[in-house]
Amino acid sequence: MSELSFSPLIVGCMNLGEWGSNYNSDDLYQFVLHCLSRGLTSFDHADIYGDYTTEAQFGGLLKKHPKLRSQMQLITKCGIRRVCTNRPDHRVKAYDASAMHIRASLENSLIQLNTDYIDLLLIHRPDWLMDPEEVAEEVQALKKEGKIKAFGVSNFTASQYDLLNEATPLLTNQIEASLLHLDPYTDGTLDQCVKLKSRPMAWSPLGAGRFFTDRGDEQVARIVKALEPLCKKYNATEDQLLLSWLMLHPARILPVLGTTKIERIDSALESLKIKMDREDWYDLWQASTGATIA
């Protein structure tokens, strides 16, 4: 990611609004200030979060405290046509990576976030009707206009990434990855990231909270059992080890934190200090799969 510098952990904003804690303006201000004070400067949005309301809540903060904008990198995503009351013209849930939709979504995000530019714009989900050349032309126009600094994708397969990357340079692929979701390790996604020196971002790095809410699940139980001695060995908590496990991969994964709790932000930062042993890494892999590697 030579064009832009992101913080080692990305602050996910999906749960800050109506889909989560629904912070008021004062709580949101304190949360953002704390993240910035700890060196977490990258904030991840999507137009659909909060049924198209969360960007505006965050933008209200930037309008009230405009000096904050220069201290952060804003990431947002477009390309999902979500059916909800705030988008009455959306008849069917669909993916849309047309030039018209990308521009309309980006222009709206700029207004909602109260900013003149987006540091990183991502296509949220693969659109099977996507024309790579059409996307590339629109992205280049938006860059030339200074409305976006960089462009990438989210949830793309390796072949889908290649297809678009040949038409326009992609900075990253934001993917689901965790000890509960190992697909990127085996389907070529992370191999591609290493090959292209493109640092991926990982959403749900703690399995969407399943490690804390679904202890009865067999896979979760196996991993938790394997973590017990490691927590003592590394003097660390489960969540810290889960993040450390993720970040050990040579793709240099950037976890996207979904928490809205300051104490969990602080805990996650401690994971940056942990250097997990290779055998411990594989022990957790095998706990996740429930099988010894071949």
State the pLDDT at residue 128: 97
Q: Residue 76 pairs with which residues in a beta bridge?
A: 121
HSE toward the beta carbon, residue 20, CA cutoff 13 A: 18
33-39 long-range contacts (CB < 8 A, ≥24 apart) are 34/262, 34/265, 35/11, 35/265, 36/68, 36/71, 36/72, 38/265, 38/266, 38/269, 39/7, 39/8, 39/269
Establish whether 185 is a catalytic residue.
no
- On whether residue 97 sits in a domain, the answer given is yes
In a domain, 248, yes or no: no
Q: Are 77 and 47 in contact (CB under 8 A)?
A: yes
The Cα–Cα gap between 164 and 130 comes to 9
pLDDT at residue number 259: 96
- Confirm whether 226 is domain-assigned: no
Burial tier of 292 (Cβ tally within 10 Å: 0-12, 13-18, 19+): exposed
Among residues 49, 52, 95, 161, the one annotated as catalytic is: 49
Rounded CA-CA distance 148/125 in Å is 19
Residue 51: per-residue pLDDT: 98
Residues of the chain with pLDDT under 50: 1-2
Q: How far apart are CA 257 and CA 203, in angstroms?
A: 7
Domain harbouring 76, CATH code: 3.20.20.100
Q: Assess if residue 279 is contained within a domain.
A: no
Domain membership of residue 92 (yes or no) is yes
Q: Is residue 151, in this structure, part of any structural domain at all?
A: yes
194 assigned to some structural domain:
no
**pLDDT the model gives residue 3:** 55
For the chain, the domain total comes to 1
What is the structure's pLDDT at 2? 45
**Model pTM greater than 0.75?**
yes
Q: What is the pLDDT of residue 1?
A: 43
In a domain? residue 165: yes
Q: Which domain holds residue 44?
A: 10-171
Kindly report, residue by residue over 195-252, the tens digit of the pLDDT.
999 999 999 999 988 888 888 899 999 999 999 999 999 999 999 999 999 999 999 9
